Structure 1
Amino acid sequence: MSIAAPATPRRIAIVGVGNIGSKFAFQLARIGGHDVTVVARPDSNRLEQLRRDGAIVDVKGTQASVHVADVLDEQAPFDLVIVTLLAHQVDAVLPALRRSAAKCIQFMFNTLHPERLREAVGPERCAFGMDFVQATLDGDGRFKATVGAGGQKTLMDEERWADLFKASGLPATVERDMPSWLRCHVPLCVACESVSVTGVRRGGGASWKEVLALACGVHASFGLIKALGYPVYPRTKALIDRAPASMFAAVLWSMSRVRVFRELLATGQAEFEALIDAMIAAAPQAEDSVRVTDIAAMKPS
Structure 2
Amino acid sequence: RDSKYGRDNADYHEMEDMRAYLGSSKADQLNVIRFDYGDKEQMFDEVTYQKGGRILHMLRKTVGDDAFFKSLTLYLSRNSYKNAEIHDLRLAFEEVTGQDLNWFFNEWFLSSGHPVLDIKTGYDQSSAKVSVTIKQTQNRNKLSVYQIPMAIDIYAGGNVKREGIVLNKLEQTFEFPVPTEPQLVNVDAEKYILAEKNENKTLKQYIFQYENAPLFMDRFEAITALKSLRKEESARTEIIKAFKDKNWYIRQIALEFVSQLNDKERESVYTQIKEMALNDPRSYVRAEAIKALKKSYAQLDNKDVFAKASNDKAPSVIKALK
TM-score tier after normalising by the smaller chain length: under 0.3
What TM-score comes out, normalization by structure 2 length?
0.25
Larger RCO of the pair (alpha carbons < 8 Å, separation 6+): 1
What TM-score comes out, normalization by structure 1 length?
0.26
